[in-house]
Chains A and B, each alone.
Chain A
């Protein structure tokens, strides 16, 4: 018995000796520094893009106030332009649904489409709406502004006449104010303590930053870029053409632009391209390249980048107006979908395996 106990006591010691011995204190623990990758993600990509989006939103808010006091044709044009700028800036941050954004359901509040026009009209007519209710998620956000600026009338004249009714401008202002407030919550959190929490959580678990961000990224790519912008309206999941499900349905001509920006955003994040475009740093690509030097496998990062390029080339052939494209020639939409789909396999199967990232919330035992 004594022997047994001594043995149990000795085990930790044995461990310590065994592992301490060969480690050279001057040598970096690991040749790939995840923490500096996280710092680049936070400081050069996520936070600057969020700040940019916030600036665009404040600009939009300002234009709305101007429009509210003078609903003229010029002011409507300015308002539409700053809505479009904000929507484009949104494409850069939609994938970063982590931390505060995840907590408050940022993406759902900002960009659910198709919106429910009936609900919006009822809210406007009845007043006393509460935009914080989940049932109002499809009556707000950037798509609701799309509806208000382009969809409430057949033409500009009709739209402006609708805005003569202050209930419409009030609703527009309320929707935008809520978006500004939500954006500020998220940006403040990143600028406050969350940046350090994010960067320091560099471990290996389903809740560590690298794993979480990679999962979020893949989720965005699969669900919002591939399915949301292309697959669902093209009828991939329903077997029916659903042209009214395109992003920017009411403004019509921006759906392709928004999609292409989202695609660029996904590829730039993969490559670690800085928000100001000045440089690029550690990223999923360089992490893959580093791991590749260990296992001497295929050049996965190049394959993924090539596939991004192929999807972009295919997307470039589409009409600016996706709804029109779907009605006239849906096969071009399906071809774009196929190109996006091929990258799902590379990202979700090959990249995930190489990174050995924990799949979201699977915390059961393994063999």
Chain B
């Protein structure tokens, strides 16, 4: 009897899952998302290029910090511009929905390549773009109001699977909610750190500058920020509060734009949040766009529903995305597998939507010892690293290790057969006094890069409570 009930329940669950997978909704939100996403990405690439950052960040440095196991991904000299060109063009094609599948795959690959070339420039925002574009590969974002569907009526669909829009909403939910969870710690809530360091230095802002000196403002911003991140996805999901929530989205992101050097990200988040609105809002947006493009929206309202070419491809896509989302939900918690303080060691810190949580400054003084002669010397980091790279390197253990291995090779070419590399390093975290960071007695050339816990990081002499 018992097994019978369970299998009935299982069947019911599978039934409703299949029903959900086959449910359709209007395609307009997906089309608007595609258009704005492509436009924003194109703008980001142009901005990056125009600021001269390709040269500064990817051509000039003589050494690049790689992600673990991905050290074959690095800038390719002057051809790096080509990657950016490809990335920008594919973003435009995504926007137009022209050869969409090819365009979005190209965009995902080129953008992710750029992101992985040097982890000095790691930003959660860039990771978010990679994640979004990966998901977009599997969504029929070109079914409606795209060049593809305009040219070929057989590719034109007024309705798309509901889950495709839910997938994007889920990503937005994850970014906000996990960013909120990450703020539930004693530094953020009880000390108002690091905002207490950052906000007073914005004294030259008109009107706000004076207020930002006040301690209560630091606490207000900390608590309001945490509350915003934790609750905004729910208010966006709930129809009666959606408009007001969107108003908060705009205010919040414009404010972060004013206060922090945060680039295109606020605008990307604002337009992405439109995905929570019903199709009629998106149809109005498309109505506005059709006045510019002179491609009639009505052409696409053919009552047809988009479906997978085969059940096999449907199963495959659903399986890929399911695994992907499970990973998205669990990956940010991988830090719990490491024994030491997360903010101190940053083991499991990246790719977890931990945004603006820390102010870290560091100093790393590398000592090279020739064991054969006993000769020892210190390294001038400026000879090998840009100021930006040195800044990032000096507070992050994986950078320090990678750099130490680079130094080992460098001094081998300078005639030291088996150099030992030690580092005397200090890190200050969220306004605390600087403390010794890496064990200065450890020869870093004997440590191999891995994702195992780094016992060569000295313990953090304080306690940060919370998630």
Given known pairs A11-B254, A239-B370, A344-B363, the reply for A365 and B262 (CB within 8 Å) is yes
In the bound complex, residues from chain A placing their C-beta under 8 Å from that of B361 are 348-350, 352-353
Give CA–CA (A367, B128) in the complex, Å.
12
- Tell me the minimal C-beta distance from A206 to chain B in angstroms: 10
Judge whether A204 and B250 touch: CB under 8 Å.
no
- Tell me the minimal C-beta distance from A334 to chain B in angstroms: 10
Cβ of A362 < 8 Å from any Cβ of B?
yes
Which of A203, A237, A294, A357 is most buried by chain B, counting CB atoms within 10 A of its CB? A294
Stretch at the interface among A28-36, A127-135, A153-161, A179-187: A28-36
A115-147 to B contact mask, C-beta < 8 Å, 1/0: 000000000000000000000000000000000
In the bound complex, residues from chain A placing their C-beta under 8 Å from that of B362 are 349
Residues facing B in A322-367 (CB within 8 A) are 341, 344-346, 348-350, 352-357, 359-367
- Tell me the minimal C-beta distance from A214 to chain B in angstroms: 12
Cβ of B315 < 8 Å from any Cβ of A?
no
Residues facing B in A180-235 (CB within 8 A) are 202-204, 208, 227, 231, 235
Given known pairs A352-B361, A366-B260, the reply for A31 and B204 (CB within 8 Å) is no
In the bound complex, residues from chain B placing their C-beta under 8 Å from that of A345 are 363, 426, 434
Judge whether B197 and A295 touch: CB under 8 Å.
yes
In the bound complex, residues from chain B placing their C-beta under 8 Å from that of A344 are 363
Give CA–CA (A231, B376) in the complex, Å.
13
Judge whether A30 and B431 touch: CB under 8 Å.
no
Q: A27: which of B198, B210, B247, B387 is its contact (CB, 8 Å)?
A: B210
Give CA–CA (A202, B204) in the complex, Å.
8
Give CA–CA (A27, B250) in the complex, Å.
30
Given known pairs A14-B251, A367-B123, the reply for A350 and B428 (CB within 8 Å) is yes
Categorize the interface residue count of chain B. 35 or more
Judge whether A353 and B355 touch: CB under 8 Å.
no
Give CA–CA (A352, B359) in the complex, Å.
11
Cβ of B449 < 8 Å from any Cβ of A?
no
Cβ of B445 < 8 Å from any Cβ of A?
no
Judge whether A291 and B200 touch: CB under 8 Å.
yes
Residues facing A in B269-303 (CB within 8 A) are 281, 284-285, 287-288
In the bound complex, residues from chain A placing their C-beta under 8 Å from that of B213 are 30-31, 294
In the bound complex, residues from chain A placing their C-beta under 8 Å from that of B261 are 363, 365-366
Judge whether B198 and A356 touch: CB under 8 Å.
yes
Give CA–CA (A286, B262) in the complex, Å.
30
Q: B388: which of A203, A238, A352, A364 is its contact (CB, 8 Å)?
A: A364
Cβ of B356 < 8 Å from any Cβ of A?
yes
Give CA–CA (A238, B378) in the complex, Å.
7
In the bound complex, residues from chain A placing their C-beta under 8 Å from that of B355 are 367
Give CA–CA (A16, B53) in the complex, Å.
34
- Tell me the minimal C-beta distance from A74 to chain B in angstroms: 45
Give CA–CA (A266, B200) in the complex, Å.
26
B236-247 to A contact mask, C-beta < 8 Å, 1/0: 000000010011
Give CA–CA (A31, B264) in the complex, Å.
33
In the bound complex, residues from chain B placing their C-beta under 8 Å from that of A208 are 204
Give CA–CA (A99, B162) in the complex, Å.
61
Judge whether A23 and B211 touch: CB under 8 Å.
yes
- Tell me the minimal C-beta distance from A321 to chain B in angstroms: 24
Q: A346: which of B198, B202, B391, B434 is its contact (CB, 8 Å)?
A: B434
Given known pairs A34-B203, A365-B125, the reply for A1 and B287 (CB within 8 Å) is yes
Cβ of A104 < 8 Å from any Cβ of B?
no
Cβ of A22 < 8 Å from any Cβ of B?
yes
Give CA–CA (A7, B198) in the complex, Å.
29
Judge whether B209 and A364 touch: CB under 8 Å.
no
In the bound complex, residues from chain B placing their C-beta under 8 Å from that of A295 are 193, 196-197, 431
- Tell me the minimal C-beta distance from B435 to chain A in angstroms: 10
Cβ of B66 < 8 Å from any Cβ of A?
no
Judge whether A349 and B426 touch: CB under 8 Å.
yes
Residue of B nearest to A202 (CB): B204
Residue of A nearest to B207 (CB): A19
Residues facing B in A231-287 (CB within 8 A) are 231, 235-240
Give CA–CA (A227, B365) in the complex, Å.
13
In the bound complex, residues from chain B placing their C-beta under 8 Å from that of A31 are 213
Cβ of B312 < 8 Å from any Cβ of A?
no
In the bound complex, residues from chain B placing their C-beta under 8 Å from that of A365 are 123, 125, 261-265
In the bound complex, residues from chain A placing their C-beta under 8 Å from that of B124 are 367
- Tell me the minimal C-beta distance from B183 to chain A in angstroms: 13
Which of A231, A239, A300, A352 is most buried by chain B, counting CB atoms within 10 A of its CB? A239
In the bound complex, residues from chain A placing their C-beta under 8 Å from that of B6 are none
Q: A353: which of B57, B197, B260 is its contact (CB, 8 Å)?
A: B197
Nearest 9 Cβ contacts at the A-B interface: A365-B263, A1-B284, A29-B210, A239-B377, A356-B201, A239-B375, A353-B361, A19-B207, A203-B204
Residues of A within 8 A of B (CB): 1, 3-4, 7-8, 11, 14-16, 19-20, 22-23, 27-32, 34, 202-204, 208, 227, 231, 235-240, 291, 294-295, 297-298, 300, 341, 344-346, 348-350, 352-357, 359-367
Contacts A20-B207, A295-B196, A356-B200 known; 8 new A-B pairs at CB < 8 A = A11-B250, A15-B254, A30-B209, A348-B363, A353-B197, A353-B359, A362-B387, A367-B262
Can you list 20 contacts pairing A with B, beta carbon distance less than 8 Å? A4-B284, A14-B251, A15-B251, A16-B207, A19-B211, A23-B211, A28-B210, A32-B203, A204-B202, A239-B370, A297-B431, A345-B434, A348-B363, A349-B363, A350-B428, A353-B360, A353-B361, A353-B431, A354-B197, A356-B197
